[in-house]
Structure 1
Amino acid sequence: MEIEIATIGGYEEVGRQMTAVRAGDDVVVFDMGLNLSQVLIHDNVETEQMHSLDLIDMGAIPDDRVMSELEGDVQAIVPTHGHLDHIGALSKLAHRYNAPIVASPFTLELVKDEIESEQKFGVENDLVEMEAGETMPIGERCELEFVHVTHSIIDAINPVLHTPEGAIVYGLDKRLDHDPVLEDPIDMKRFREIGREDEGVLAYIEDTTNAGRKGRTASESVARRELQDTIHSMEDYDGGIVATTFSSHVSRVSSIIEFAQEIGREPILLGRSMERYSGTAERMGRVNFPDNLGMFGHRKSVDRAFKRIMNEGKENFLPIVTGHQGEPRAMLTRMGRGETPYDIESGDKVIFSARVIPEPTNEGQRYQSEQLLRMQGARIYDDIHVSGHLREEGHYEMLNALQPQHVIPAHHDLEHFGKYARLAKSEGYEIGRDLHLSDNGNIIQLVE
């Protein structure tokens, strides 16, 4: 069976992930995402007014024209998890393919929300829910499987396409977390089984975000303990405390809520995406929030919540807000500019439970946001966080578990691919033979 892999998006940058695998006459597409730095998509800015061609031209969504070179029919579109750099282009591109969107339950709910927000295209692809551990047929000779992984969002999976030539493992976005906060540990047992059954693993497509960082990525429980220590250290402070983190990181948000209550403060979620992700998780029963937890996304309701905080005393509340990357229209940035009823005063605490995404736009915005907060006297607690991506030891462990015949670095640029290539070469892989450095719009022929 002929096997080709089209590296469509995410092979020259962080973002707009999209990869297609052709096995004989059948094609499976993995991810359709946005490049968040190319358009103001963070938290409070939508792209539903923009046409897909405009977004392609500005490098915001994948240029999928290479799909016309794959001689097969798309059987499934598979987003791995609910981050916008993996699902944000579905509402712009999925309608081009007569194929269902297949995703885990929480991811599928977020996909529905993306599609409903689209105002230019009527995306009518069937939506198919599939749990980790389940499989579905692809054509007559292949099978799609979901393997549970841990990341900085719940319900993440690594999809595996089983073919007669071996398995294709699409390994983007995970950490080897054996002590997560809201869900099961990563299913390393299944990865080891896949690496040793039938024809083994033909190809492994791997996220290289942290490939140059030594050691292993810590568990979410480590970030939880650091958050607990930080917030409890503020128990006797009688001024304002504000926290920000990734809106999609429901596990982290739930920890902040819990610790706010432990020090006698009422947590309130503020910002459109904060309300979206946490509200969806709560409705699905994936998290147990306090019955009276306030979630406010629209500007007027957010400002009313801020006024209530100021009227009843900042010392009684802990708002959890959007804006961890300094996004211009997010809540924390507006607070720093003095555009909300919430007054930041000298000594007030601002907790960033997130690191800066290493990209110039984010770094500049975050710097500006922090400076605005400092000018008002805020005390900043930075980087109370653990990454959602593998470091070096995690990469070694995955290569050992899967023992792939071919390895394809993804989810970054050539600089990070080079770091991963050095790691893979130490395991016996060679560039041009079984280690494939690709770019956007390229096709790799694995089996002729």
Structure 2
Amino acid sequence: MEIEIATIGGYEEVGRQMTAVRAGNDVVIFDMGLNLSKVLIHDNIQTENMHSLDLIDMGAIPDDRVMSDLDGDVQAIVPTHGHLDHIGAISKLAHRYDAPVVATPFTLALVEQELEDEDKFSSDSDLVEMDPGESMTIGDHGCELEFVNVTHSIIDAINPVLHTPEGAIVYGLDKRMDHTPVIGDPIDMKRFREIGREGEGVLCYIEDCTNANKKGRTPSENVAREHLRDVLYSMEDYDGGIVATTFSSHIARVKSLVEFADDIGRQPVLLGRSMEKYSGTAERLGFVDFPDNLGMFGYRRSIDQSFERIMNDGKEDFFPIVTGHQGEPRAMLTRMARGETSYELDDGDKVVFSARVIPEPTNEGQRYQAEKLLGMQGARVYSDIHVSGHLCQEGHYAMLDALQPQHIIPAHQDLKGFSGYIDLASNQGYALGRDIHASSNGDIIQLV
């Protein structure tokens, strides 16, 4: 059986992930993501109203025209998790393919919302729910799709595995090796080891290289939780304002913030459209049980009313958890830093960033500006109360040892970002150009 892999997006940057695997006449697409930084550099742009070709030209979504060079039929579109750099282009591209979107429940709910918000295109794709540990048949030639549970900075993440007669294709984006997660099950290393040693083994491993140049091991989410607990408990006697921001999609982190707010005697309030979207969806699907006193407000009017109530009742009694961890221009924290809300920041007020800057120039510049504006208002900024959602080098070593793949394709970075992973794999006997395939967007790699 011929096996080809098209590296469509996310092989020259962090963002707009998309990869297609052809096994015989059957094609499976993994991820269809957005490069948000390409959107944020434009003022007041609304991607919902834009044509896919315009977004491709901007570099915001994958250029999927290489798909015409794959001689087969798309059988499934499989997003690995609900981050926008993995699902943000489904509403723009899925209508081109007569294929179902197959994902875990939380991811599928977020995809459904993306499709509902889309104004330019309509998609008739079936939405098929599949849980970690389950499998489904792909095509009529002996291929099977399996979901292996992994841990990431969003709940319900998986690594999909396409089992073919020539061996397994493991799509390894995105994960960290967390054995004590705050929400959900640990990473299923037992299953990865089994896949590496059964049948024909692993033909190819496509791996996220976000932290491949960082030594050591990525800590568990429990480490971030305890760091956050220590920081917030140290503020228990402060009688001014305390504000926190984190990734809206990081439900485990939001859960910890909400719990610790109650511990220090403050009422938590989630503010921002994406905060309400992700946390509301997680609660509705039963992934988290928030307290009854938690307020969630996503629309501008209700947010402004919440700020007014906080200032009238006394900000020392509240704990706003807001959007804006990357300094996004229209996010809540950035508006607060500019003095565009009724929430008044005073000298000594605390602002906790429970997130690191995404390593991309637009984000770095915006975050720097937001922290400077907050400091100019007298706020005390606590940065980087966080652990990454991506493997560092020892995690990559453990995955190679578990899977023992014949071929490796680095992904989710540019060539500089691939370098640490290529060095690590070379030390394990792999060779660049032989079984390590450093690819670019739009390439097709023929493995069999």
Give the TM-score, by structure 1 length: 0.99
Deviation digits for residues 395-446 of structure 1 (CA, Å, limit 9, x no counterpart)? 0000000000000000010001122100110000001110000000000000
What residue is the counterpart of 1:193 in the other structure? 194
1:103 and 1:205 map into 2 onto residues whose CA distance is 18
Q: Tell me which stretches of 4 or more aligned residues in structure 1 moved more than 4 Å.
A: none
- Deviation of 1:112 after TM superposition, in Å, equals 0.2
What residue is the counterpart of 1:294 in the other structure? 295
What residue is the counterpart of 2:338 in the other structure? 337
1:334 and 1:49 map into 2 onto residues whose CA distance is 25
What residue is the counterpart of 1:387 in the other structure? 388
What residue is the counterpart of 2:55 in the other structure? 55
Residues 169-318 of structure 1 aligned to structure 2 (within 5 Å): 169-318=170-319
Q: Structure 1 counterpart of 2:73, which letter?
A: D
Alignment of 1:78 with 2:78, yes or no, is yes
Alignment of 1:435 with 2:441, yes or no, is no
Query: Is this contact kept in 2: 1:195–1:403, CA < 8 A?
Result: yes
Query: Is this contact kept in 2: 1:100–1:126, CA < 8 A?
Result: yes
Query: Is this contact kept in 2: 1:267–1:317, CA < 8 A?
Result: yes
2:49 and 2:326 map into 1 onto residues whose CA distance is 23
- Deviation of 1:46 after TM superposition, in Å, equals 4.7
DSSP 3-state at the match of 2:205: strand
1:49 and 1:143 map into 2 onto residues whose CA distance is 37
Query: Is this contact kept in 1: 2:41–2:362, CA < 8 A?
Result: no
What residue is the counterpart of 2:102 in the other structure? 102
Mark the runs of 5 or more structure 2 residues left unpaired by the alignment.
none
Q: Structure 2 counterpart of 1:321, which letter?
A: V
What percentage of aligned pairs have identical amino acids? Answer: 77
2:286 and 2:439 map into 1 onto residues whose CA distance is 41
2:340 and 2:187 map into 1 onto residues whose CA distance is 42
Q: Structure 1 counterpart of 2:161, which letter?
A: V
What residue is the counterpart of 2:23 in the other structure? 23
Query: Is this contact kept in 1: 2:101–2:128, CA < 8 A?
Result: yes
- Deviation of 1:291 after TM superposition, in Å, equals 1.3
Query: Is this contact kept in 1: 2:197–2:403, CA < 8 A?
Result: yes
1:190 and 1:253 map into 2 onto residues whose CA distance is 29
DSSP 3-state at the match of 2:154: coil
What residue is the counterpart of 1:164 in the other structure? 165
Mark the runs of 5 or more structure 1 residues left unpaired by the alignment.
none
Alignment of 1:117 with 2:122, yes or no, is no
- Deviation of 1:47 after TM superposition, in Å, equals 1.6
1:438 and 1:371 map into 2 onto residues whose CA distance is 38
DSSP 3-state at the match of 1:257: helix
DSSP 3-state at the match of 1:159: strand
DSSP 3-state at the match of 1:347: coil
DSSP 3-state at the match of 2:447: strand
Q: Structure 1 counterpart of 2:288, which letter?
A: V
- Deviation of 1:41 after TM superposition, in Å, equals 9.3
Residues 121-132 of structure 1 aligned to structure 2 (within 5 Å): 121-132=121-132
Q: How many residues align?
A: 446
Q: Structure 2 counterpart of 1:122, which letter?
A: S
Cα 1:397–1:360, aligned 2, differ >3 Å: closer, same or farther? same
1:318 and 1:27 map into 2 onto residues whose CA distance is 48
1:234 and 1:166 map into 2 onto residues whose CA distance is 54
Deviation digits for residues 231-281 of structure 1 (CA, Å, limit 9, x no counterpart)? 000000000000000000000000000000001000000000000000000
Deviation digits for residues 159-209 of structure 1 (CA, Å, limit 9, x no counterpart)? 000000000000011000000001110000000000000000000000000
DSSP 3-state at the match of 2:424: helix
2:350 and 2:47 map into 1 onto residues whose CA distance is 33
Q: Structure 1 counterpart of 2:38, which letter?
A: Q
Cα 1:46–1:291, aligned 2, differ >3 Å: closer, same or farther? farther
Q: Structure 1 counterpart of 2:148, which letter?
A: V
Query: Is this contact kept in 2: 1:41–1:47, CA < 8 A?
Result: no
- Deviation of 1:292 after TM superposition, in Å, equals 2.3
DSSP 3-state at the match of 1:180: coil
Query: Is this contact kept in 2: 1:232–1:263, CA < 8 A?
Result: yes
1:123 and 1:241 map into 2 onto residues whose CA distance is 43
Query: Is this contact kept in 2: 1:45–1:329, CA < 8 A?
Result: no
Give the TM-score, by structure 2 length: 0.99
What residue is the counterpart of 1:34 in the other structure? 34
1:407 and 1:147 map into 2 onto residues whose CA distance is 18
- Deviation of 1:38 after TM superposition, in Å, equals 0.2
Q: Structure 1 counterpart of 2:203, which letter?
A: L
Query: Is this contact kept in 1: 2:267–2:293, CA < 8 A?
Result: no
DSSP 3-state at the match of 1:146: strand
1:15 and 1:4 map into 2 onto residues whose CA distance is 22
- Deviation of 1:45 after TM superposition, in Å, equals 7.0
Q: Structure 1 counterpart of 2:118, which letter?
A: E
- Deviation of 1:374 after TM superposition, in Å, equals 0.2
